[in-house]
Amino acid sequence: MIEVKHLTKKIGQRMILEDVNIHVNKGTIYGIIGVNGAGKTTLIRHLIGSYIPDDGQVLIDGQPVFENNHIKEKIVYIPDEFPTSFGSNIREIAKFYSRIYPSWSEVRYQQLISRFQQNELANFNQFSKGMKKQVSFILALSIMPDYLIMDEPFDGLDPLIRQTIWDILIQDVSERNMTIFISSHHLKELDAMCETICLIDHGKVIFEYKIDDLKHKIHKVQVAFHSEMMKDKARTDLHLLNEVSTGKIQTWIVEGNMDEIIEKIENNNPLILETLPLDLEEIFTFALGGDRHVLEEVFGTVF
């Protein structure tokens, strides 16, 4: 379990993280989203024990991470850019990792080298970004970590390789109870894979929700009515968060119970009533661009 309690971090005069609280259950996939500069990478550096908090706590399995080698042995970090100082080829880097991680599995390493058709002795420094990312996953998964923490790990990978890696990750979560914490701009991917999502903006947690709960709370419907009067009546019956008009067709983002929303719209004899899928990207875009007092009411969070 990962627990972040009242984490605050200032660098120079700039407040990077302010009173951040998150909870990551063991054996789950937890995604964090936010614009560049929101504080995601700084949060991750606290999770892996690179930064010491100015205030608050970062706990993994109930223990502080900073200067805790026992806990750090359970964690593997895949950064956006892979460091090249550990060796000139994959075999050298693998030997380095095998010495510092007791959980290193040579059997799995060889299986993954074969699966991804990598040459252990090729010059690593000449690899493309995508090839380096593949190597990052081979090494990380060979360590057999309890906690895999990733910062934009899939940039540069083609869709087939991405899916292959996700298949392995999900297998590890299922079979070994591994916990994944991932920061990514690929919202559709997080939508499909994560159990819980956290939105961070200007160093503060805007919301932390299970995705299923979030999607049960906000809905998208497409409607059209016989008259403006009927449309206006339907609007007043609903907790409408956003609307877009295309001719007579209205697309509404509505908060509430889906069955009750449908019933209220049907009471106004719509010409068209269709429910549409609402993905994480739309929720994220709305949350950062929406009316803040409405967001406070919907998500129960003070901004």
Per CATH, is 215-299 categorized as 3.40.50?
no
Enter the pTM of the model. Answer: 0.82
How far from 254 is each of 109, 216, 278, CA to CA, in Å?
49, 11, 11
| H helical segments located in the chain | 40-47, 69-72, 90-100, 106-115, 129-142, 159-176, 187-193, 211-217, 228-237, 258-266, 280-289, 292-299
Dist. CA 148–CA 285, nearest whole Å:
27
Per-residue pLDDT of the chain (303 residues; tens, 9 = 90+): 999 999 999 988 899 999 999 999 999 999 998 888 889 999 999 999 999 999 999 999 999 999 899 999 999 999 887 666 666 888 988 999 999 999 999 999 999 999 999 988 888 778 888 888 899 999 999 999 999 999 988 888 889 999 999 999 999 999 999 999 999 888 888 888 999 999 898 999 988 888 888 778 888 999 999 998 999 999 888 988 888 898 889 999 888 899 999 999 999 999 999 999 887 777 766 655 554 444 444 444 443
Dist. CA 33–CA 43, nearest whole Å:
12
Looking at the domain covering 2-202, what would its CATH class be? alpha beta
State residue 44 phi and psi, 5-degree precision.
-60, -40
Is residue 200 within 8 Å of residue 19, measured between CB atoms?
Answer: no
Where do you find CATH 3.30.70 in the chain? 215-299
Where do you find CATH 3.40.50.300 in the chain? 2-202
Q: How far, rounded to the nearest angstrom, does the alpha carbon of residue 99 sit from its chain's CA centroid? A: 31
